[in-house]
């Protein structure tokens, strides 16, 4: 089963010299974790907006759950897909619980009052993201990591079949970043479709089942982490010398490819020089 | 305290403010006399004071105060800017140009109705102009552009007012200045009816948008992700809040501070989403303006102070107090 399916999708922002997304075809399987990678400006966030129906493609089709995403009403999409946007800054003070309760809005419409089921969904989402203890705190007193967990909790309170996250761990420290990735793995194991845009090649390789590597609006490679994160592909896309080594473990993800960017001059690295000699 | 209970208390406060507004004045009235006046069973003078003077004035103050507060809360959420207020879209400038032109061109012939009509037309022209400018820049309605367009159009209209006043005679100048300062002394049941015809549907529409406003105050991207049709909602909320402001200004002139301060007071005291904030602001704004107007017409009697002076003198210190309390 597929959650999303794109065929030849092209999108150009008005006035832009080239298409932000160019003839992209991809499948996002349901109930697993897919990570979209790529350099800055490679079209990752635009692709995400196209998948969510926030932008309409100039060419090609985007299907969400088998139906063109343009035919979905906004509130229907919001009940099916929980989104954690890249950055947001609430204009007025609010508590964590108020923020998370907004996840119920797509279910409530304009007039219906919050019921017991809604309160329980909010409670579960708060507990799941480990922010239940912070529920009464004002949002602007939280650290970056806590705030991000609260946003993920809001998306979970939507009780969606799929979750889309745009760089959820940008600017987080190691433990907060790992906590988010661990949570995403658990969610995918529980049957939630997770679609994630990230710059963390190595964590994506360990936690995602499938990687999509974008470059200049096109897909440079997609597939299992081992197929996508090869030295040749990563060096071509990012224009920087790297080594790819298996993750030493321990853990369930031992053996996942890990990208180690090298110092600027490739001849400085003897192991790499030897590899190149072998290849020749 | 539950939100519903808070709203009930605020409604009670608004009702009490109305009662005070009708009782206090050159001829103080008891509660019994007020009730007799409303029912028309008291002596003729009391009935006239209650039914023709004080009650319409207090009711108009309540509608204007409630409308401005709701409109201010809406603009603050849409523009994601705590300094936003109902007049930010150039509504006050446009209304003032309409009113001043009516006064200066027709002189003493201008009736309250004609001035109000011209003010309303001016306000609508300003709103349309601001929208036109903002929507000609970029793909979607950008709130920052909208804000700038509002400020620029407002400044232009202020220049127009100065130009018109330069050529006005002394009488027209005086009545134009009084109009600009804002006053509820022209209240009639007809003006109340006209304002109510805009007020009731506008408030209901804004209530229906309350959850979308919660989301827009967090971010447009977030609002879209949580099921809001962002462009449609922004357009609708701007349009409705502007229309509500235009109607209020047309019947009462430009009364400042109600629309800016009241929503903040509600937020600071109780926080909460727009499903509470909007009705609470309407009730508190109504109570506040009724009391401010009562003070304005009694404190230096027989001279009547501009009601905007009272709203600022009461509103500013209270606002500063709330700001400092939150810091602590």
Kindly report, residue by residue over A114-156, the tens digit of the pLDDT. 889 999 999 999 998 889 999 999 998 998 888 999 999 999 9
The candidate with the shortest Cα–Cα distance to A258, out of A219, A208, A212, A205, is: A205
CA A177 to chain centre: 13
The candidate with the shortest Cα–Cα distance to B288, out of B2, B21, B7, B3, is: B21
User: What CATH code is carried by the domain that includes residue B138?
Assistant: 1.10.3470.10
Residue A70: its chain B contacts at CB < 8 A?
A: none
Chain A, residues 156-195, CB within 8 A of chain B, namely 158
Average pLDDT, chain B: 89
Could you say which of A88, A93, A108 has the minimum Cβ distance to residue B271?
A93
ipTM value = 0.87
Could you say which of A74, A76, A88 has the minimum Cβ distance to residue B221?
A88
- Tens digits of residue pLDDT in B166-176: 988 888 888 88
Q: Given CB atoms, is A108 within the 8 Å cutoff of chain B?
A: yes
Instruction: Test B218 with A99 for CB contact under 8 angstroms.
Output: yes
Distance between CA atoms of B269 and B280, rounded to whole angstroms?
Answer: 11
Indicate the number of domains in chain A.
Answer: 1
The pLDDT of residue B325 is above 80: no
Distance between CA atoms of B188 and B180, rounded to whole angstroms?
Answer: 19
CA B87 to chain centre: 9
Structural domain including B93 reads 3-327
pLDDT, position A1: 59
Instruction: Test A110 with B267 for CB contact under 8 angstroms.
Output: no
Q: Given CB atoms, is A105 within the 8 Å cutoff of chain B?
A: yes
Per DSSP, the residues of B168-218 read --HHHHHHHHHHHH--STT--HHHHHHHHHHHHHHHHHHHHTHHHHHHHHH
Given a cut of 70, the residues of chain A with pLDDT beneath it are: 1, 265-280
Indicate the number of domains in chain B.
Answer: 1
What's the gap in Å between the CA of A106 and the closest CA on chain B? 6
Instruction: Test A91 with B221 for CB contact under 8 angstroms.
Output: no
Could you tell me which chain A residue has the CA closest to the CA of B206? A110
* Side-chain half-sphere CA neighbours of B224 within 13 A: 13
pLDDT band, residue B135 (cuts 50/70/90) = confident
Place of tokens 């985007």: A62
Q: Minimum mean pLDDT among A112-121, B19-28, B139-148: which range?
A: B139-148
pLDDT band, residue B25 (cuts 50/70/90) = confident
pLDDT, position A114: 87
The pLDDT of residue B15 is above 70: yes
Q: Given CB atoms, is B322 within the 8 Å cutoff of chain A?
A: no
pLDDT, position B269: 85
Distance between CA atoms of B246 and B87, rounded to whole angstroms?
Answer: 9
Structural domain including A136 reads 2-279
- Compute the average pLDDT of residues B217-241: 92
pTM of this prediction? 0.89
DSSP run (H or E) holding B324: helix B307-327
Could you tell me which chain A residue has the CA closest to the CA of B211? A110
**CA A232 vs CA A223, A275, A279: distances in Å:** 15, 12, 12
What's the gap in Å between the CA of A226 and the closest CA on chain B? 32
Q: Given CB atoms, is B221 within the 8 Å cutoff of chain A?
A: yes
Tokens in use for A176? Answer: 């907060």
Distance between CA atoms of A47 and A68, rounded to whole angstroms?
Answer: 15
pLDDT, position A266: 56
pLDDT, position B300: 87
Q: What DSSP designation does A70 have?
A: G
What's the gap in Å between the CA of A66 and the closest CA on chain B? 20
Place of tokens 């406003």: B213
Instruction: Test A52 with B271 for CB contact under 8 angstroms.
Output: no
User: What CATH code is carried by the domain that includes residue A131?
Assistant: 3.40.50.300
């Amino acid at each position: 089963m597929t959650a999303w399916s794109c065929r030849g999708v092209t999108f150009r922002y008005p006035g832009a010299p080239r298409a932000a997304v160019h003839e992209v075809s991809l499948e996002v399987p349901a109930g697993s974790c897919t990570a979209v990678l790529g350099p800055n400006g490679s079209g990752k966030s635009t692709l995400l907006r196209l998948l969510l129906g926030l932008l309409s493609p100039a060419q090609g089709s985007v299907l969400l759950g088998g139906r063109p995403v343009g035919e979905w009403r906004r509130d229907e999409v919001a009940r099916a897909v929980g989104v954690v946007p890249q950055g947001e800054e609430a204009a007025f003070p609010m508590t964590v619980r108020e923020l998370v309760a907004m996840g119920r809005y797509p279910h409530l419409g304009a007039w219906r009052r919050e019921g017991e089921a809604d309160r329980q969904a909010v409670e579960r989402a708060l507990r799941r993201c480990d922010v239940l203890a912070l529920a009464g705190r004002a949002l602007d007193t939280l650290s970056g990591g806590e705030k991000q967990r609260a946003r993920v909790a809001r998306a979970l309170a939507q009780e969606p079949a799929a979750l889309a996250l745009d760089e959820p761990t940008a600017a987080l420290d190691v433990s907060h970043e790992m906590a988010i990735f661990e949570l995403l793995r658990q969610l995918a194991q529980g049957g939630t479709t997770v679609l994630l845009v990230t710059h963390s090649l190595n964590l994506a390789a360990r936690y995602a089942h499938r990687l999509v590597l974008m470059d200049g609006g096109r897909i440079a490679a997609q597939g299992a982490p081992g197929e996508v994160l090869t030295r040749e592909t990563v060096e071509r896309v990012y224009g920087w010398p790297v080594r790819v080594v298996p993750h030493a473990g321990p853990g369930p993800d031992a053996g996942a490819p890990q990208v180690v960017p090298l110092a600027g001059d490739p001849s400085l690295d003897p192991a790499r020089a030897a590899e190149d000699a072998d290849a020749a | 305290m539950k939100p519903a209970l808070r709203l009930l208390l605020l409604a009670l406060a608004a009702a009490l403010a109305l009662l005070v507004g009708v009782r206090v004045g050159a001829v103080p009235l008891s509660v019994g006399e007020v009730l007799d006046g409303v029912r028309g069973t008291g002596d003729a003078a009391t009935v006239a004071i209650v039914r023709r003077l004080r009650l319409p004035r207090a009711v108009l103050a309540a509608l204007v105060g409630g409308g401005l507060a709701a409109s201010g809360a809406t603009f603050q959420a849409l523009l994601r800017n705590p300094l936003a207020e109902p007049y930010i879209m150039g509504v006050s400038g446009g209304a003032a140009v309409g009113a001043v032109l009516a006064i200066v061109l027709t002189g003493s012939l201008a009736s309250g109705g004609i001035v109000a009509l011209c003010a309303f037309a001016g306000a609508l022209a300003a709103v349309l102009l601001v929208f036109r400018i903002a929507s000609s820049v970029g793909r979607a309605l950008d709130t920052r552009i909208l804000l700038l367009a509002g400020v620029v159009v407002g400044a232009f209209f202020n220049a127009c007012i100065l130009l018109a006043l330069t050529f006005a005679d002394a009488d027209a100048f005086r009545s134009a200045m009084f109009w600009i300062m804002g006053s509820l002394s022209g209240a009639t049941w007809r003006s109340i009816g006209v304002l109510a015809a805009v007020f009731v549907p506008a408030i209901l529409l804004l209530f229906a948008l309350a959850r979308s406003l919660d989301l827009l105050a967090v971010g447009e991207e977030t609002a879209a992700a949580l099921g809001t049709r962002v462009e449609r909602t922004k357009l609708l909320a701007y349009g409705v809040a502007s229309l509500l402001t235009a109607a209020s200004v047309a019947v009462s002139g430009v009364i400042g501070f109600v629309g800016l301060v009241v929503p903040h007071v509600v937020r600071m005291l109780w926080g909460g989403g727009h499903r509470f904030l909007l009705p609470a602001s309407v009730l508190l704004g109504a109570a506040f303006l009724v009391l401010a107007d009562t003070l304005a017409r009694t404190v230096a009697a027989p001279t009547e102070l501009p009601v905007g002076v009272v709203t600022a003198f009461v509103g500013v210190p209270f606002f500063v107090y709330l700001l400092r309390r939150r810091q602590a």
